[in-house]
Every structure is written in structure tokens, then in C-alpha cells.
Amino acid sequence: MTENPPPCPRCSCAYTYEMNALVVCPECGHEWVPAEGAADAGAVGAVAEKVVRDSVGNVLQDGDSVVVVKALKVKGSSSGIKAGTKVRGIRLVDGVDGHDIDCRIDGFGAMQLKSSVVKKS
């Protein structure tokens, strides 16, 4: 959540607020996605880069180190990944079903994780 959401593009109201992925204007009722407004203001044909955030809102990048924040079950393994396990050298991917981190975990091998279960370290 941003500290100061952008003003309303329709009525210029400064009292906008965020509701999930939308920004809402209480005066005129206009709802919009902030990324759309940024893309409209940018150059024509510019591609918006996908931003991946961890469980506490930090922006993740390729090569970062993260810590698993909750215990995870692993199919085909009698033990799972414990909370507090450190993962080094992550790679951001467009995964399936929300799995947007590709990594290698000692003792488990290569796997994909959701950004909602890790915290940047």
C-alpha cells in the first residue's frame, strides 16, 4: 500500500484511498488501477514491468536472498521446508498458479515458490 495514493484523474480529489488493487475516489466514486494511469502517462508502446513483492511488501529482484516465512509441505517428501529456511539467488519467472520465484533449496533441489510465503533478507 502506498503512503500517498495519486489524486483522482476525473475530479482531482486528493482524498483517494486504496482498496485491494484499485484506487477509489470518495467524491465522484471513480475506481482505477494505478498502473493504468502510469502507463497512460508514459510513452506510447511502453511495456509496464511486472513488480513482484514479498509477504511484507518489499520489491524482489533476480539474485535476491529470501527467507521462507511459513512451513511448506513438499509433494513426494516426508519432510517439508521449515519456516526460516534461507534461499539464495532467486530468479523471478512468470510461473503457473502464482508461483513466481524459481530457486534452488539445499536438501530439496530446484523448485518454484510463491512470493507470498517469503520475506526479503
How open is the CA angle 105-101-59, to the nearest 5 degrees? 120
What span, in angstroms and rounded, lies between the C-alpha atoms of 65 and 88?
4
Nearest to 117 by CA among 68, 78, 82: 68
**How many other C-beta atoms are found inside a 10 Å radius of the C-beta of residue 22?**
13
The pTM of this model reads: 0.58
pLDDT tens over the chain, length 121 residues: 557 888 888 888 888 888 888 888 888 888 888 764 454 444 444 445 678 999 999 999 999 999 999 999 988 888 899 999 999 999 999 878 889 999 999 888 999 999 999 999 8
What span, in angstroms and rounded, lies between the C-alpha atoms of 86 and 83?
9
| Residue bearing cell 502464482 | 98
H helices of the chain, where?
Answer: 34-41
Query: CA torsion sign, 78 to 115 to 65 to 112?
Result: positive
